[in-house]
Structure 1
Amino acid sequence: MIWLSELQKFGVAFTAAGVLFFIFGVLTFFDAALLALGNILFVIGLILIIGPQKTVAFFTRPQKRRGTICFVIGIMLILSKRSFIGFFVECFGILGLFGDFFAVVVQFLRSLPYIGDVLSHPAVAPFIDRIAGVNHLPV
């Protein structure tokens, strides 16, 4: 089991709430208020999980610069009530920032009881691997 400090536990809760509000914002036809609330909660949660210094270091890495710029512009567009365009710009930024983690997330999900069976199914696995960029090493 992963041991988290109290602050990190709150960070996980804030991040999860941010993702949920972001999904609800999309489901309600790009409601700017829900998307903005989701963005704010997600960023607060990220800061609480990894700390302010590491968050700044993550977002200012040279290879993450394009993702950071798109993420920030997307948030600004959503906050200025241009939620549809801001959503797509922000999604491009999220892919640029967190695209490296998708393979790790897929491998973790495959270790879960029911979800892992679905993601490892021969009809689904190649599609998921291509999207997440999972590389299988020959055994």
Structure 2
Amino acid sequence: MISITEWQKIGVGTTGFGVFFILFGILLYFDSVLLAFGNLLFLTGLLFIIGLRKTFSFFFQRHKLKGTSFFLGGVVIVLLRWPLLGMVLETYGFLSLFKGFFPVIFGFLGNASNIPFLSALFQRLQGTRSMV
């Protein structure tokens, strides 16, 4: 069994609140204060979950610098109260940073769900062509 430290539990809660505030800020027509608060909570939670050194090494790898610059630039733009432009930049940076995780996520969801249509859809998104 995986042991989770208290700091990681706090990080999961903080990241969850960050995602909640980001989604709530989007629902309220890109409220810049909620989006900025959500961004700060999300990044703080990420620091608590994986640590300062691993977070720094994840964001500043050579092949991820473009995604990092768009993501962190979007955070700064949101903090400067340009929420729509900032969220567009953040979305592009987020997709660029985490594009390697999407096949793994779709593969897990395809194997975890027993619903035939969703399983086939997630397997196609994963990149495999077998329907087994």
Inter-partner Cα distance in structure 1 for 2:7 and 2:111: 27
The letter for the 2-side match of 1:11 is G
Q: Quote the residue 1:15 is aligned against.
A: 15
Count of residue pairs brought into register by the alignment:
131
Q: How does 1:5-84 map to 2 (within 5 A)?
A: 5-84=5-84
1:135 to 116, 127, 132: 127
The alpha-carbon distance between structure 1 residues 75 and 129, as it changes in their structure 2 partners (threshold 3 A), is farther
With normalisation by structure 1, the TM-score equals 0.83
What are the superposed Cα offsets for residues 7-30 of structure 1, whole Å, 9 maximum, x if unpaired? 111111111111111100111000
How many angstroms apart in 1 are the aligned matches of 2:117 and 2:98? 26
State the Cα deviation string for residues 69-124 of structure 1 (Å, max 9, x = none).
00111011100110001000000010111121122223334455xxx245xx3267
Q: Is 1:87 equivalent to 2:87 in the alignment?
A: yes
Q: Measure, in 2, the Cα distance between the counterparts of 1:30 and 1:47.
A: 25
Q: Could you report, residue by residue, the CA deviation over 1:28-76 in whole angstroms, capped at 9, with x for unpaired residues?
A: 0000011001100010011111100010100110111011000111011
Find the counterpart in structure 2 of residue 99 from structure 1: 99
Is 1:122 aligned to residue 117 of structure 2? yes
CA separation of 1:85 and 1:9: change in aligned 2, threshold 3 A? same
- C-alpha RMSD over aligned residues: 2.2
AA at the equivalent of 1:13? G
- For structure 2, list consecutive stretches of 5 or more residues without a partner in the other structure: none
Q: How far apart, CA to CA, are the structure 2 residues paired with 1:27 and 1:95? A: 20
